[in-house]
Structures are given as structure tokens and as C-alpha cells.
Amino acid sequence: MAVEVEIERETIRQSVRELARARIAPRAADIDRSGEFPRDVVDLFREHDTFAVAFPPQYGGLSGSALTLSLVIEEVAKVCATSSLLLAVQALGGYPILIGGSEEQKATYLPELASGRKIAAYALSEPDAGSDAGSMRTRARRDGDDYILDGSKMWITNGGVADLIVVFASTQPEARTRGISAFLVDGQSAGLERREIHGKLGIRGSNTAELIFSSCRVPAERRLGEEGDGFKIAMGVLDRSRPQIGSQALGIGAGALEYALGYAKQRHQFGQAIAEFQGLQFMLADMGAQLEAARCLVHEACRAVDAAEPRMTELAAMAKLVASDTAMKVTTDAVQVLGGYGYVNEFPVERMMRDAKITQIYEGTNQIQRLVIAKRLLA
């Protein structure tokens, strides 16, 4: 059985690798340059059932395995970080339903996410509440069979295009994190305004938005779990999503290393390929070793997620921390390998360096990851 799973996993990974290199890689530079949301890539993922990798077969998915999703995200991120984020955020929007949803909610919404018929978003952060979720100001008050949402969310990936948004709001403000609840909000709801954010350093084709809720009415049947379950759901989601950001970081770094290796073999100085110089070889060796070490940690975290192991939280934070820091260093070194050519957008490594930065910030900053890890170690 384990062998069959591995064969299936490798088949999926190879299929996505071929798709990414043939269809997405040629688009990557233009997506970055234009900053436009890549709807053609969304259609491509729909056509090839790529979104389905994140979801269990009983809900229309292909796998539901964190490790399989990790391999897929890495392959796409090697050529285009923006496109890989489409897969990561679709999973991010589905995880709250898997964790806190009723069987009816799972059967209703997960197949639509698995097929890509609906695009998901996850709305936790606010203008004044990023790492400190207890300071959340978005409110949800009960009104008969509905809840009324008022407040705003910030830096929401897919926020301007999502059909289904998981929104966290306080139903009992004085209880801080224990008073947070989670809701499934239709992207076209009355009382929801979406303001797209432009001018990002990297992942420029990814849609990022501020969401404004003004007396936005949500049916009570769209609440996930009980009132007050929201923070527990949110933290459970991050345990599952952080390794996938690590996977994205791995892909960005691996793509940069691959390009730098090819360049070093072709670029000649002082009568030989620069790959022949020991100083450069040492740099490339460090890049490869650091990526492989990070990959081992990310895959271990994914296995912990798949097995629901107690160390899942700790390993997820470690994976995200190490992989994203590694991606930032490796992409910076890749720019250095290319020298002046690495500094212009005719070559992809400068884009990869810009894209790598966000992996140190979203899904909890790396400073927050260190707090999570330290707390677990000290316990």
C-alpha cells in the first residue's frame, strides 16, 4: 500500500512538473511584469485537476496528503511563485472547512474548491491585528438566523477574486482569542467591499486585497463550528499551511539554484567557465546543501501533518522558518552568481529573490515562528 501511494505521489509530481515547465514557465515573467491575476493559470489548474491535490477523494479531491501537495507546490514555485500560491491558498481556504466544518458543509463546499469552480481566500489579518489575533476588531453579532459582520481585513491573498472567503470575526470581544468565530462568506455578499492592493515587491500577479465589511449579513449555517472555535480553527489551519509556504520557498530557491548552475556553466571569464572557480563552487555547494536540508525538514513536517502527530505545530513552524530563510539566502546568492545580469529582469533570479521575501512574512512572520518553536521546546 505504501509503495502504491509513493508511485501515485511521484506520478502526480511528474505530471505537474511537466505542466509547469511547458505552460507556466513561459508566462512567469509576464505575470510578474503586468501584475495581473493569472486567470489562464487558474483555468489550467482547473483543466488538469491540480487544485484537487489538496483535498481528500471523498470530497472530490485527488489526495489530501500534505506531502503530495508539498511536492506539487514546489514544482510550480520553481518556475512561478505567483502560480504556486494559487494552490497554497486554495488549500488554505479549504483547511478551516476540513477542521471545523460539519459534514454537510464539507460536502457542499469542498468539492467546489477541489474542482476549482470556486476560488478561496482566508481572512484573518487586519490593519491593526496581524500576529496579535486577540486584537481583532472585526465583529460578528447574531441577528436571528444570521450574523452581521462589521470591520476590515488586510493583506488577503485572493481577496479581490475569491468566491468563498473564510472570515474570522469576534463574537465575544472581551474574551479575545477565545471569542473569535469563523464564517464562510460569499465573495459577492452585500456589505462586502474589496479593495485591491498594488505595488508589491514580489508575487505581483497574486491578487491581494483589503476587505471591508459593512453590515454584511452571513447565514448562521455558514459558521464553522461553535461560537468561539475560530482561533482554534485558525491555529489548526496554520499548522497545515505553514509547511506549504515552506514548500513554496523551496521551489523558489530550487528554481534560482537551477538557473544559477546553468549560467555558471555557460559564462566564461579568464578563459574558463566560472563554474570551474572554487570560490563559486563553494557558493553553489552551500546553496544546494541548504535547500536539501530545508526540504528534509519540510517533508518531515508534512508527514507529521498527514499522521496528525503531536509535534505537528513545532515542525510546521520550523519548516516554514528554515525554508523561507533558506530561499532568501539562496536567491540572493543566485543574483550574485549572475552578477550584473542577475540584477535585471531579463533574467529570472531577481524576480525569484523578490518573491522569496514574502515567504518570511506571511503565514506568520519568522519572528512568530521562533516564538512558537521556543514555546514548544521550553514546554
Does the annotation mark 363 as catalytic? yes
Q: Are 32 and 204 in contact (CB under 8 A)?
A: yes
**Distances from the Cα of 54 to the Cα of 14, 111, 350, 367, angstroms:** 16, 11, 30, 27
Other Cβ atoms less than 10 A from the Cβ of 232: the count is 17
CA distance 123 to 257: 33
Q: Are 149 and 123 in contact (CB under 8 A)?
A: no
Q: Which of 134, 223, 142, 126 is nearest to 175 (CA)?
A: 134
Residue identified by cell 462568506 is 185
Q: Are 163 and 119 in contact (CB under 8 A)?
A: yes
3-state secondary structure of 341: helix
- Which residues lie below 8 Å from residue 267, measured CB to CB, with a gap of 6+? 273, 274, 338
User: Sign of torsion, CA 111 70 163 117?
Assistant: negative
Other Cβ atoms less than 10 A from the Cβ of 238: the count is 22
Q: Are 226 and 378 in contact (CB under 8 A)?
A: no
CA distance 60 to 180: 30
- Active-site residue among 75, 314, 350, 363? 363
Q: Any idea which residues carry the catalytic annotation?
A: 363
